[in-house]
Amino acid sequence: MTDFNEIFDRVKAASRVLAILSDDERSRAIEILARLVEENTDKLLEANAMDLSRMDKSNPLYDRLELTPSRIKSIAGDLRHVARLDCPAGEEIERRTLPNGILLRKIRVPFGVVGVVYEARPNVTFDVASLCIKSGNACVLKGGHDAENSNQAAIGLIHQALAEAGLPHDSVALLPSTHDATEALLNAVGKVDVCIPRGGRRLIDFVRDTARVPVIETGAGVVHMYFHSSAREAIARAVVDNAKTRRVSVCNALDSLLVDRELLPVIADWLSPLAEKGVELHADARALEALRSGGYPSHLLVAATDADRDREWMDMKMGVYTVDDVEEAIAHIDAHGSGHSESIVAEDKEAIEAFSSRVDAACVYVNLPTSFTDGGQFGLGAEIGISTQKLGPRGPMGLREITTYRYLLEGDGQTRP
Amino acid sequence: MTDFNEIFDRVKAASRVLAILSDDERSRAIEILARLVEENTDKLLEANAMDLSRMDKSNPLYDRLELTPSRIKSIAGDLRHVARLDCPAGEEIERRTLPNGILLRKIRVPFGVVGVVYEARPNVTFDVASLCIKSGNACVLKGGHDAENSNQAAIGLIHQALAEAGLPHDSVALLPSTHDATEALLNAVGKVDVCIPRGGRRLIDFVRDTARVPVIETGAGVVHMYFHSSAREAIARAVVDNAKTRRVSVCNALDSLLVDRELLPVIADWLSPLAEKGVELHADARALEALRSGGYPSHLLVAATDADRDREWMDMKMGVYTVDDVEEAIAHIDAHGSGHSESIVAEDKEAIEAFSSRVDAACVYVNLPTSFTDGGQFGLGAEIGISTQKLGPRGPMGLREITTYRYLLEGDGQTRP
């Protein structure tokens, strides 16, 4: 049986070394990894083919699992991009001299050991490893069983890069893809500083409910857009289309549209771009009637159930619900939102003010699609996930969001009365 | 049976209202509470007397449970102090215009609902309620059974103050002091945004191990001080005395002294202020010999056990261990520290640099006692606890540390390619 605690202790020890290396030393390892990934494209494809051969092509995970020469090229590109970002660790966040003469500094430092539990996407292995190394964190990865061979090939290259760069081997550890390994990781109190699940709702819930180590909940989003009666048609048409259809499988994709009752007569027209793309609407009685009489294709209209209101569709489907005013829109989001991304389309200042000051979510948008909830779009340079909890980082997480801080106080023998 | 979910829903609803009130409105409730506390001193003492009558006077909790007229006066003073602090909620942390013209703002907001589980100290009820109200958070309090009557009297005054100030009654809820209530609070996913345990090691471990809501671990500290061979005598004498004996029952009190072997000949002399106060030293073989031959009173000398190295003494006792150099000191702290507060006494620049860049703790001190780890001393104005974890706030937590942030993005119909 694998002695997980021994692995965690080695990673912790590596994290102490990694944290005090220079940014240049850490970045060099990532540059080397980018080169090794390109040089070993065939090896990665071979390992990936073994994984793919075990999966049915009709499985929706197949596409996520699959590596191709162009995807591998883009992994190498992403690695070089991360290597060249600014490193947040070491930054002085605050410097004050206290009345007693003590110099107090608040300094940004890596978390230490970051655990990541994920599913069938082998690119996540490179992604997380590079973001952690860059920010000075060691990491423990627990990938999905489906991607076992791909991940083994990836960690082989990562360890080769660490060795060539003179960084500790245990800066990145890949656990076996067993349930035991996940349990051990989630219970590694004092050894793993934070754990981030990357995957679907079930994985995230399991991690949150099981972990004794601190967790950052990520991803799952029941995302709303509210068309206020003052909405401008051109903006409404553009942003609802972009938010719903740009990519339906991502967490910032729109799930529920809240329509002010005054807009019911025009809603079928405003949603015509969605009709053209075949978006199926699950609408409440009033909206259904308006959509039908407005000419939204009837084979794309379904009566919404109560459960639809809490659904993250991940599909060319969307809920449409009628609200009387901004108050009802906010109440709907309070009841059914997941704190991810929420948007209002409106010109009325009071409605905008009410929505944007009161909706409780990581990202609140005015006259914009929720598709912008993304580390790259926010200018964070990279993204390790999108946090939907309030403790710790919230919203898109880049390098800075996987750091913490430390107080350093210097004096010459002052004592506390 | 109490319907806890219904309570949590009401507190959540109150938190939505509280968050958008002005700082003045919230502060007024705290000022009113201060007045009510003074006016109802007799009522509070009466309720407290009922609690005290159920506890043995020899119980170390007795002193923490006891309210006196002067303690009540000081509670009122603390409340007024909190009411007058600057409110961090609403602060604009960041403002950027993205290349596509979107205005991105990062705005500080309250967590929402803060849960606090604590033990027999009724002053914590006022303390937590005022800090939460001030920062715009609603809170759910779960006090100890021993303080039941005192806490009931306190929550009565808090609710009276909320009513007089026109704030929602459910801004502060006190749960029954049952185990069921704790379980419900720790499992209130989606309803309680963060939970903070305030109490001893056992309570903290229980909360961390049980909770499905995010937790901030607080308090427990195995605190070290390292005397490097270059330490100045006057500083060493002053800071070790202050760190160990100022108040032995607090989490920043010194637990283990690491002595460079070169200092063994003088250590008994340097620790003579501790001898005068009767501090019992649990020392390793080399230190024990040096202390004995240097004249530290032999009735205060004990051979240290392995378990002593992980002990938070909370008493006039301290471990003393010999180390060869700063490397061994850091390794000792890596193995036995709890990430709370660690101090080095040294003049040597390299030793200071090694210690202060590599010791992994919320607060690292140079030539200072660890007694300074305190929200008030750090200039935070108040303190709700001291975090020993890395996710979320670290070290002393004031008002700002019980807030999170939200991104607000405004545009005019931009879409993501």
**Cβ B198 vs Cβ B119: under 8 Å:** yes
Residue A369 and residue A242 in contact, taking contact as beta carbons nearer than 8 Å? yes
The answer to whether the Cβ–Cβ distance between B414 and A368 falls below 8 Å is yes
From the list B358, B365, B407, the residue facing A362 with the nearest CB is: B407
Is residue A376 within 8 A of residue A384, CB to CB? The reply is no
* Contact state of B364 with A208 under an 8 Å Cβ cutoff: no
Shortest alpha-carbon distance between residue B40 and chain A (Å)? 32
CB spacing of A394 vs B404 below 8 angstroms: yes
Min Cα distance A95 → chain B (Å) is 11
**Mean pLDDT in residue range A26-34:** 98
E runs forming strands in A246-397: 256-260, 280-283, 301-303, 317-323, 341-345, 363-366, 385-387, 395-397
User: Which residue among A112, A395, A407 sits closest to B390, beta carbon to beta carbon?
Assistant: A112
d(CA B140, CA B142): 7
Residues of B with Cβ-Cβ distance to A310 under 8 angstroms: none
Average pLDDT of span A130-146: 96
Distance separating alpha carbons of residues A395 and A229, to the nearest angstrom? 29
Mean per-residue pLDDT for A165-177?
Answer: 97
What band does A1 get if pLDDT is binned at 50, 70 and 90?
low
Distance between CA B362 and CA B386 in Å, rounded? Answer: 9
With CB atoms and an 8 Å threshold, state whether B238 touches A415: yes
Measured in angstroms, the CA of A101 and the nearest CA of chain B are apart by 11
Beta-carbon separation of B362 and A238 below 8 A:
no
Shortest Cα distance, chain A CAs vs residue B170, angstroms: 17
Parallel/antiparallel/unpaired status of strands A103-110 and A92-97: antiparallel
Distance from CA of A253 to the nearest CA of B (A): 12
The answer for residues whose C-beta is within 8 angstroms of residue A417's C-beta and 6 or more apart is none
A242 CB neighbours in chain B (<8 A) are: 415-416
Of A104, A368, A412, the CB nearest to B235: A412
B374 with B396: CB under 8 angstroms? yes
Taking only the tens place, the pLDDT of each residue in A199-209 is: 888 899 999 99
The answer to whether the Cβ–Cβ distance between B209 and A212 falls below 8 Å is yes
Residues of A in contact with B364 (CB under 8 A): 406-409
CA pair distance B2, B152, nearest whole angstrom: 16
**Alpha carbons B95 and B106: distance in angstroms, whole number:** 6
Give contacts of A394 with chain B, Cβ < 8 Å: 404-407
DSSP labels, A222-263: --EEEE-TT--HHHHHHHHHHHHHS-TTSTTS--EEEEEGGG
Closest by Cβ to B334, choosing from A16, A363, A395: A16
Question: What is the structure's pLDDT at B11?
Answer: 98
Residue of B377, B405, B412 with shortest CB distance to A416: B377
A92, burial (CB in 10 Å: exposed 0-12, middle 13-18, buried 19+): exposed
User: Nearest Cβ partner of A238 from B193, B395, B415?
Assistant: B415
CB B126 within 8 A of CB B33: yes
Comparing CB atoms, the residue among A214, A216, A358 nearest residue B16 is A358
pLDDT of residue B220: 79
Contacts of A231 in chain B (CB under 8 A): none
List of chain A residues whose C-beta atoms are within 8 Å of the C-beta of residue B242: 415-416
| Residues ≥6 apart with Cβ < 8 Å to B99 | none
Query: In the sheet that B92-97 helps form, which strands lie side by side, from edge to edge?
Result: A301-303, A280-283, A317-323, A256-260, A224-227, A341-345, A363-366, B403-410, B103-110, B92-97
B-chain CB neighbours of A234 within 8 Å are 413
The distance of Cα A363 from the centroid of its chain, to the nearest Å, equals 13
User: Nearest residue of A to residue B396 by CA position?
Assistant: A407
pLDDT digits (tens, 9 = 90+) for A204-229: 999 999 999 999 998 778 999 999 99
Q: What is the pTM of this model?
A: 0.94
pLDDT tens digits, one per residue of A31-75: 999 999 999 999 999 999 999 999 999 887 898 899 999 999 999
Phi, psi dihedral angles at A57 (to 5 degrees): -65, -25
Asked if B368 and A409 come within 8 Å (Cβ–Cβ), the reply is yes
Is the Cβ pair A409, B112 closer than 8 Å?
A: no
Distance from CA of B201 to the nearest CA of A (A): 14
Percent of chain B, pLDDT > 90? 93
Question: Would the CA dihedral through A111, A112, A118, A124 be positive or negative?
Answer: positive
User: Is there a contact between A391 and B392 if contact means CB atoms under 8 Å apart?
Assistant: yes
- The upper half-sphere exposure of residue B61, i.e. CA atoms within 13 Å in the direction of its Cβ, equals 18
Q: How far is CA B376 from CA A104, A375, B98, B402, in A?
A: 13, 36, 39, 15
Buried b (16+ CB within 10 A) or exposed e, B58-68: eeebeebbbbe
Q: What is the pLDDT along chain B (417 residues), one digit of tens a residue?
A: 679 999 999 999 999 999 999 999 999 999 999 999 999 999 999 999 999 999 999 887 898 899 999 999 999 999 999 999 999 999 999 999 999 999 999 999 999 999 999 987 899 999 999 999 999 999 999 999 999 999 999 999 999 999 999 999 999 999 999 999 999 999 999 999 999 999 888 899 999 999 999 999 987 789 999 999 999 999 999 999 999 999 998 899 999 999 999 999 999 999 999 999 999 999 999 999 999 999 999 999 999 999 999 999 999 999 999 999 999 999 999 999 999 999 999 999 999 999 999 999 999 999 999 999 999 999 888 889 999 999 999 999 999 999 999 999 999 999 999
A297 pLDDT above the threshold of 90: yes
Under an 8 A CB cutoff, do B194 and A391 touch? yes
A115-131 residue pLDDT tens: 999 987 899 999 999 99
Contacts of A335 in chain B (CB under 8 A): none
Residue B367 contacts residue B321 (beta carbons within 8 Å): no
Asked if the Cβ–Cβ distance from A391 to B334 is below 8 Å, we say no
ipTM of the complex: 0.94
A415 chain-B contacts, CB cut-off 8 A: 238-239, 241-242, 246, 369, 371
Helix (H, G, I), strand (E, B) or coil at A150: helix
User: Which residue among B239, B391, B411 places its CB closest to the CB of A391?
Assistant: B391
Q: Which residues of A touch B406 (CB under 8 A)?
A: 360-364, 394-395
Look at residues B411, B298, B376, B395 and name the one whose alpha carbon lies nearest to residue B127: B376
Within 8 A of A235 by CB-CB distance, chain B residues are: 412-413
Question: Hey, are the CB atoms on B98 and A20 less than 8 Å from each other?
Answer: no
At residue B27, the pLDDT reads 97
Q: In this complex, do B394 and A410 lie within 8 Å of one another by their Cβ atoms?
A: no
Q: What is the pLDDT of residue B90?
A: 93
The pLDDT of residue B258 is: 98
